[in-house]
Amino acid sequence: MLEPESEETKDLEKKIYNKDWDWYRLGDTYYRPEGANDLTYHVDKFPDSIASEYIKQSSSRSNDLDTIKKIIKKEPAKYETVIHIRIGDVICYGMGSSYSAYENKEWWEQLAKYLNQNDIKSVYIIAGSHTSLCLDKSAQYVLNRIRFLKEKGFTVVYEPGKQPDEDLVIAANSKNFISTGGNYGKLMSEIVRTNGGNVITIKIEQDNLKYIVIYFIVNIVITLMFVLFFSYTKL
């Protein structure tokens, strides 16, 4: 699910990583409890950011929805449907399948099917990296998924290199939202839901788990049958 390396992929590599926002971790700032990791550097490094305001305004520092919603104002939806694709380090560290739907063709097919069934014709893509890791594969993957959606008949808008807070506000006020994973996507999903929006869920992982369980049960039964058979023949 990667586009071949080209001038287009190389150009996107330069855009998906915004150096001014290196190691900006809004999702982790919101979800991690006090003391788990010191994320207070956001106040000095990103003084005007949502993460900085959240740290300064929240007394609990963990899952304080009231505070985060006061900071992220409800606005008219700029884009009706937003898809967040987690990219960056997770793809190169072997976590791409669970965090970005990387190589999960069934997940993407089911998403396209859902969008078509609900008469959704255009989508806004959010995909950016908070580090300089794995930018080549990230760019190739994002372009491949954009091509996939366009081939399915959707209009795709993608504006790489934007501030993560800008994309968060766009996502938070969307009518339909889906994320492939990560705390940033989880936070956006939570805000969309509380704003009355629709958070799309693709249940591929659950379905796969069901088949995995069935596979193991069948193999256990077969093994027991062989054990019983050979035990019987020795009698």
Residue 1, pLDDT score: 87
pLDDT tens readout for residues 100-137 = 888 899 999 999 999 999 999 999 999 999 999 999 99
pLDDT at 114: 97
Q: How far is CA 97 from the centre of its chain?
A: 11
- pLDDT tens across 186-233, in order? 999 999 999 999 999 997 644 444 444 444 464 565 556 545 544 555
pTM for the whole structure:
0.83
Number of C-beta neighbours around residue 83 at 10 A: 28
Number of Cα atoms under 13 Å in the Cβ half of residue 65: 11
Percent of the chain with pLDDT over 90: 71
Write the CB contacts of 203 (distance below 8 Å, at least 6 apart in sequence): none
- Residue for token digits 């256990």? 220
Angle between helices 105-117 and 204-233 (to 10 degrees): 130
Return the half-sphere exposure (C-beta side, CA atoms, 13 A cut-off) of residue 143.
20
Q: What is the mean pLDDT of the chain?
A: 87
Percent pLDDT > 70 in the chain is: 83
Q: What is the pLDDT of residue 148?
A: 98
pLDDT on residue 235 = 56
Q: Residues near 166 by Cβ (< 8 Å), separated by ≥ 6?
A: none
The residue ranges of every structural domain in the chain are: 7-202
CATH for 7-202 is: 3.40.50
- Written as one string, the DSSP assignment of 28-59 is HHHHSPTTTS--THHHHHSTTSHHHHHHHH-S
Q: Is the pLDDT of residue 64 over 60?
A: yes
3-state class (DSSP) for residue 74: coil
Q: What is the reported pLDDT for 209? A: 47
Q: What is the pLDDT of residue 224?
A: 60
